Amino acid sequence: MSSFITPLNSSGNAFAERHIECLQHTLTKEMLSQSGKEWDDLVGLIVYYYNISSKQNQPSPYELHFSRLPVSPLSLRLKASSFINNKEKEMTNLLSAKTAYYKKKSTRKLEPKYSDPCQLQSISNDKKTALLITHDGRKLRRSTRNLKVKG
């Protein structure tokens, strides 16, 4: 029942036939290497791999269809770890200790607008966030536009 396109017979869908043939070869190879698995357990992984793999300087089928890069659990974990490492490098420690007050959310009318004095430990390179240490030792990350710095 399975027929592939030959140069003499061009009545079928050559792209679909080529795709199916590639999936069959990959499925056969994986079934031989993973002897305990059933073929229907491997089809999803093989299709995902086929869709995200691309040739050099060409977008993958996933990118063409969804207009974005594929997202896998591994890529999410790698992004999160690099984001955390980059955030630590973006902060610049201050040489002299400065006192800062951050704006609090007011719950009552006569409550003070700003917090108790905190020590300003570091500020981000883009000057948008600051790391504060409260009098009880807690570390807070606050926006610099809501800070008052003295000293």
Q: Which amino acid is at 141?
A: R
pLDDT digits (tens, 9 = 90+) for 4-38: 556 556 566 777 788 888 888 989 998 898 888 88
Encoded tokens for 32: 């031989």
pLDDT higher for 87 or 139? 139
| pLDDT of the residue at 1 | 47
* pLDDT above 90 coverage of the chain, percent: 0
Task: Decide if pLDDT at 119 tops 70.
Answer: yes
Per the prediction, the chain carries an average pLDDT of: 79
Distance separating alpha carbons of residues 142 and 36, to the nearest angstrom: 53
pLDDT digits (tens, 9 = 90+) for 70-81: 777 777 777 776
**What's 57's DSSP letter?**
T
Choice among 38-47, 90-99, 141-150 with the minimum mean pLDDT: 90-99
Task: Decide if pLDDT at 41 tops 60.
Answer: yes
Distance separating alpha carbons of residues 103 and 126, to the nearest angstrom: 20
**What's 62's DSSP letter?**
H
- Measured between alpha carbons, how far is residue 53 from residues 20, 29, 44, 57, 62 in Å? 16, 17, 14, 12, 9
For the domain bounded by 91-150, which CATH number is listed?
A: 2.30.30.140
Encoded tokens for 35: 């002897």
Neighbouring-strand partners of residue 121: none
Are 105 and 142 within 8 A, CB to CB?
no
Q: What is the mean pLDDT of residues 61-75?
A: 78
Of 25, 23, 5, nearest in space to 13 by CA? 5
